[in-house]
Structure 1
Amino acid sequence: MTILSREYLVTYKASMDAIFKALNDPARRALLDSLRAKDGQSLMELEEQLDMTRFGVMKHLKVLEDANLIVPRKVGRFKYHYLNAMPLQEVIDRWVEPLLARSAARAMADLKQELEKPMSKKPDFVMQTFIRCTQDALWDALTKPEGMANYHFMANRIELEGNQLIYYTPDDNKMLVCTSIAETPKTRIESTFEPHWAGPDVPLAKSSFVYLIEPEGPQCKLTLEHYDIPEGQEGVTDGWARMMSGLKTWLETGEPANFGSAA
């Protein structure tokens, strides 16, 4: 049984209070609905959908950002906003999940600008979560294959070949190949994303993703950015949610957590 510290419980309560405050306004709920329908919108795009001033929209976005329900990403002169599902999933885990089978989608962008290699384009998808663990533990979990089966939602075997992580399904079929492009130790990982689950006869369509790690006291902020997701692969967002939720649970409890589908 995991015993939570008083400090953790105080932090958790403050996080829950911020979430419920953010949701207790129809304009903010409308903004979340809009980002759910189309992620990565600019302030101008969101402003056009609400009957209020730009300043009013900015105030609502700040409340949502403070609750970690949205993650901003600045590219050039523009700031884009992404829906972050992880805080809502934590609410489900606390009050709803005990009443349901463990199969709901889960989840997981901002590393300090001076610590991050900026991307020249905006991501298609952003997810962010906070994990109560050391920076070393999180880095090892993301880079060392021997522990990955403890939190991946489908792969039960992962092998490292050179700079490639190769994921295999329980029936020993290759499902995913991720090739490391660039790494800043304990801070940043940039990798390709090459799915194989459709079978050998389907042409491969690669994309890329970035992990950003930022230590914050006894916890780490982990941000995932996925770029150039091909048409037909939009479902990878659900896979990321399941994987990131398993990662958080495993690192915080030490118990394997494989949040696969309920099929």
Structure 2
Amino acid sequence: DKQTIIVWEDPESKQDWALSFQSQADIADIWQQLRQEAQLLPLPSPESLPELSRLLAAVPPGQRHALAGECLAEDFIAALCQTFHTAEDAGDEDLLAALFRACKGVFLLCNQRLTERYLGQDVIEDVLGILEYDEGLPLDRRIAHRQLHSLQVRFHQVVSFEDSDVLERIHLVYRLQYVKDIVLPRLMDDASFAAMTQMVHSNLSVVLDYLHKRPALLGQLLAQVGRDDFGSLRFLQEMCRLAKQVAPTQRQALHQRLA
């Protein structure tokens, strides 16, 4: 049974090795121990946060990929969110500041998959909540990101998007821009700013390509604008504004469709 076997390759001898276990429970226990031994980061908790935030503060380039993988683990994300709830409920400013440093470190790893996961629908509220506790800003200058985000990014679907992935990318473009332009701009170096800008472009390109290949959808949108549908007009204006950030050929193609 393959589910009760661990297989690995010895990097020196290039030989394959295998361990067989009697049950899946046995292999799960061993696998968990191996993971813990190999982990570079502790799981987020009130006790581990000082060390976690320190480790994420200055990551050597050679460790970025490995740390991004650990931060992507669902148990890591769940523990981070739970620790945030605990700290905020208790009003623990030191813990909240450490959470901010850790979360900032996650974004500064400049890993697209990681960044997009932390801006996902199921965790965005907690992530923005953590990012409200920027210890580098006085209390009266801190931004209520959760409140501002909920007010500014209320999404009214003016046309029907059959592809749920494209719809999620539209949300993601707004969230990426919000983090890049509002939450973290003073904390990002040129490399991380460029990386996040590229993430915006890659997601936006998918959305614009989707619109370009569906003239009926654009026709519906323009027809609604002609009927003085303010929501449709605002969506179209926003797409044209965002299109300024992509390649000229793609921008021109969209403009031709709208002509």
Shared fold, TM over 0.5: no
Could you say which structure has the higher helix fraction?
2
Bin for the TM-score computed over the shorter chain: under 0.3
Structure with a larger share of its residues in strand: 1
TM-score by length of 2: 0.27
Q: Whose Rg is larger? A: 2
